[in-house]
């Protein structure tokens, strides 16, 4: 049975691949992007099964109008894929105020506002799935990506809470956590002006690894997209999907480290309640 998807950031990366795979298998896709004309080739091939709209997730009133129009014109939408976002690299001290504001507006506030915009529609139709593209960086951290991690840790906390609020309405969530993947993430990466003080620090080391190609991305985006689609068809799938050996290792190490630290403080933590 064909399904209907709503996708943000559909012009490239995971969004483009998702759109291509879904159309190829006969689904309908409401594909949105800042430049929807980049999807014209898919429109010629798939006709009215592709619905497009210009959408900038930082323009919240326009985003709400696009969401409302998609549900009005397409009827039921089964899956909403919140995919729009980009990376920002630089030591926290190196980042500009405008760079910080733009990233948080896009990756965090834009994702939050998209979810808020679609919830009433999903609730009224009796349920649906929201697939939020996060990152391994939603549970661990690399030096130099502090603001990117802030956005991903932030959206994961938001989803953890909201999924409990909307579960009675049949609305479910999936957080997608890919590790380094062969998409165009690096091409869209915004970088801060390097400060000499950070040349011989972990930030400088990672900056050189990006420049000389020694930081490798082994993840296969095509496999990941197929797994996203499969997960959206399961009724009780996991909240989080971890993609790639790098993500599996890095998230596992981070979780084990936090758990060990928590257990090391057990007696002190338990002693902090009121006596009696």
Segments making up each domain of the chain, as ranges: 4-245
pLDDT for residue 184: 67
3-state class (DSSP) for residue 80: strand
Task: Return the bridge partners of 52, or none.
Answer: 31
Which of 82, 152, 198, 250 is catalytic? The answer is 152
Could you give the count of Cα atoms lying within 13 Å of 107 in the half-sphere of its Cβ? 26
Give yes or no for a contact between 206 and 215, defined as CB atoms under 8 angstroms apart: yes
Q: Give catalytic status of residue 2 as yes or no.
A: no
Give yes or no for a contact between 26 and 45, defined as CB atoms under 8 angstroms apart: no
The tokens for 268 are 């002190």
Q: Which residues of the chain have pLDDT under 70?
A: 184, 186
**CB count in 10 Å sphere of residue 206:** 17
110-125 and 146-166 are packed helices; what angle lies between their axes, rounded to 10 degrees? Answer: 20
Buried b or exposed e, range 209-231, using 16+ CB within 10 angstroms: eeeeeeeebebebeebbeebbeb
The tokens for 103 are 């990233």
Alpha-carbon distance of 156 to 142, in angstroms, equals 17
Q: Tell me: the pLDDT tens digits for 217-244?
A: 788 999 999 999 999 998 888 999 999 9
Alpha-carbon distance of 227 to 234, in angstroms, equals 11
Question: Is CATH 3.30.70.1090 what the domain over 4-245 is classified as, yes or no?
Answer: no
Phi and psi at residue 185, to the nearest 5°:
-55, -45
Give yes or no for a contact between 172 and 132, defined as CB atoms under 8 angstroms apart: no
Q: Tell me: the pLDDT tens digits for 247-268?
A: 999 999 999 999 999 999 999 9
Which of 146, 148, 198, 250 is catalytic? The answer is 148
pLDDT for residue 223: 94
Q: Give catalytic status of residue 152 as yes or no.
A: yes
Outline where 104-244 has alpha helix (H): 110-125, 146-166, 202-212, 221-232
The tokens for 144 are 């130099």
Q: Give catalytic status of residue 248 as yes or no.
A: no
Which of 11, 82, 111, 134 is catalytic? The answer is 134
């Amino acid at each position: 049975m064909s399904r209907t998807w709503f996708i943000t950031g559909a012009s490239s990366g995971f969004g483009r691949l998702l759109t291509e795979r879904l159309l190829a298998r006969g689904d309908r896709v409401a594909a949105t992007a800042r430049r929807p004309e980049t999807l014209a080739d898919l429109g010629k091939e798939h006709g009215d099964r592709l619905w497009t709209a210009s959408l900038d997730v930082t323009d919240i009133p326009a985003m709400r109008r696009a969401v409302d129009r998609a549900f009005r014109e397409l009827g039921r939408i089964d899956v909403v894929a919140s995919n729009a976002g980009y990376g920002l690299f630089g030591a926290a001290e190196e980042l500009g105020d405008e760079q910080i504001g733009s990233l948080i507006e896009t990756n965090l506030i834009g994702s939050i506002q998209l979810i808020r915009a679609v919830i009433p529609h999903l609730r009224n139709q009796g349920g649906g799935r929201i697939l939020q593209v996060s990152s391994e960086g939603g549970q661990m951290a690399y030096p130099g990506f502090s603001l990117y991690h802030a956005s991903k840790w932030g959206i994961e906390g938001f989803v953890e809470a909201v999924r409990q609020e909307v579960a009675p309405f049949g609305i479910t969530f999936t957080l997608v956590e890919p590790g380094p993947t062969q998409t165009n993430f690096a091409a869209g990466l915004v970088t801060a002006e390097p400060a000499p003080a950070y040349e011989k620090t972990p930030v400088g080391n990672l900056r050189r690894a990006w420049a000389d190609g020694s930081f490798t991305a082994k993840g296969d985006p095509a496999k990941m997209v197929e797994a996203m689609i499969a997960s959206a068809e399961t009724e009780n799938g996991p909240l989080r999907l971890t993609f790639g050996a790098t993500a599996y290792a890095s998230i596992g190490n981070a979780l084990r480290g936090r758990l060990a630290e928590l257990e090391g403080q057990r007696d002190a933590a338990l002693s902090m309640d009121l006596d009696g």
